[in-house]
Every structure is written in C-alpha cells, then in structure tokens.
C-alpha cells in the first residue's frame, strides 16, 4: 500500500509515528476491525489503538520505521512493553463499559521506504 505526503519535508519522528498509526488504523479497519479508541492515555502510559475484532478487544501497538538501521520495527516490542500493554489493557477495560469474549494484544510493524510505500507486518496475539 502507498501513502503519499503532500509536503516535500521529511516528517519528524513524531510525524512518522502519527502517519504510521493512521496507516495501521486504515489497514485494520479494511480487515473488518472497528476502532474504539486512538492514542488513549492514562498516568501509566498510552495505547496506540483499541479496536473490536468480532467479539474480542484488540489493544494494538504500532511501530513505524523509516530505516532498518536500528532493526525491524517488531524488535522494539520487548517483554517489558508487553507487560505495560497488558496493564494498560486492563485499565482501559476497567474505565469503559465494553463486553467482549477476550482481549488480545496485536502489533502492527511498518517500514516506510523512500517512496512512501509501507511494508506491513501484523502480528495478532503477541505474547500469548
């Protein structure tokens, strides 16, 4: 899939992250998921996307890279990050009245090349 920027400047790190999250959202919605929250924050952290996939709640971490110099985007998901996402998922559920059969953590890892084309790796149920 391709996403074209209208400006000629390279985006900042935060800009790359925001573009990646928007792309990941479109990608997941196109696969039938429903967005419940974007960039949900609390005192202990942030969840990039909260979605419904059938009767499951999906807490999704999005990692976007412009280069492979520091490794693949998926490699940024550490055990500590997974623990934090599990705690955040519990907190999100406690604050929202949502019924679901289960909760899972997904990762969408994106690499954007110089032509603004994304390669996508969607890993459902990370760390289960």
65-123 per-position pLDDT tens digit: 887 777 777 888 889 999 999 999 999 999 998 988 999 999 999 988 777 788 899 99
Buried b (16+ CB within 10 A) or exposed e, 79-107: eebbebbeebbebbbeeeeeeeeebbbbb
Two tokens, residue 39: 């960039």
Please report whether residue 55 resides in a domain: yes
Note down the domain range covering 20. 13-123
Please report whether residue 7 resides in a domain: no
Please report whether residue 2 resides in a domain: no
Please report whether residue 119 resides in a domain: yes
Please report whether residue 3 resides in a domain: no
Task: Give the residue, 17 or 77, on which the prediction is more confident.
Answer: 77
Please report whether residue 72 resides in a domain: yes
Q: Is 53 helix (H, G, I), strand (E, B) or coil?
A: strand
Name the band, by pLDDT with cuts 50, 70 and 90, for residue 10.
Answer: low
Task: Write down the pLDDT at residue 54.
Answer: 95
Q: Is 117 helix (H, G, I), strand (E, B) or coil?
A: strand
Please report whether residue 115 resides in a domain: yes
Task: Identify which of 109, 106, 107 has the alpha carbon closest to the alpha carbon of residue 120.
Answer: 109
What mean pLDDT do residues 39-53 have? Answer: 96
What mean pLDDT do residues 41-54 have? Answer: 96
Task: Write down the pLDDT at residue 92.
Answer: 96
Whether pTM > 0.75 for this model: the answer is: yes
CATH number, domain containing residue 33 = 3.40.1350.10
Number of structural domains, the chain? 1
Two tokens, residue 30: 């196109």
Q: Are 20 and 63 in contact (CB under 8 A)?
A: yes
Task: Give the residue, 57 or 115, on which the prediction is more confident.
Answer: 57
């Amino acid at each position: 899939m391709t996403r074209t920027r209208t400006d000629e400047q390279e985006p900042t790190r935060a800009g790359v992250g925001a573009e990646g999250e928007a792309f990941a959202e479109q990608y997941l919605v196109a696969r039938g998921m429903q967005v419940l929250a974007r960039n949900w924050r609390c005192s202990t952290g942030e969840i990039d996307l909260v979605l419904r996939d059938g009767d499951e709640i999906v807490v999704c971490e999005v990692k976007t890279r412009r280069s492979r110099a520091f490794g693949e985007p998926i490699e940024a998901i550490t055990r500590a990050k997974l623990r934090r996402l599990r705690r955040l998922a519990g907190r999100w559920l406690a604050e929202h009245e949502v019924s679901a059969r289960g909760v899972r953590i997904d990762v969408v890892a994106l690499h954007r090349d110089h032509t603004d084309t994304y390669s996508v790796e969607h890993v459902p149920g990370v760390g289960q």
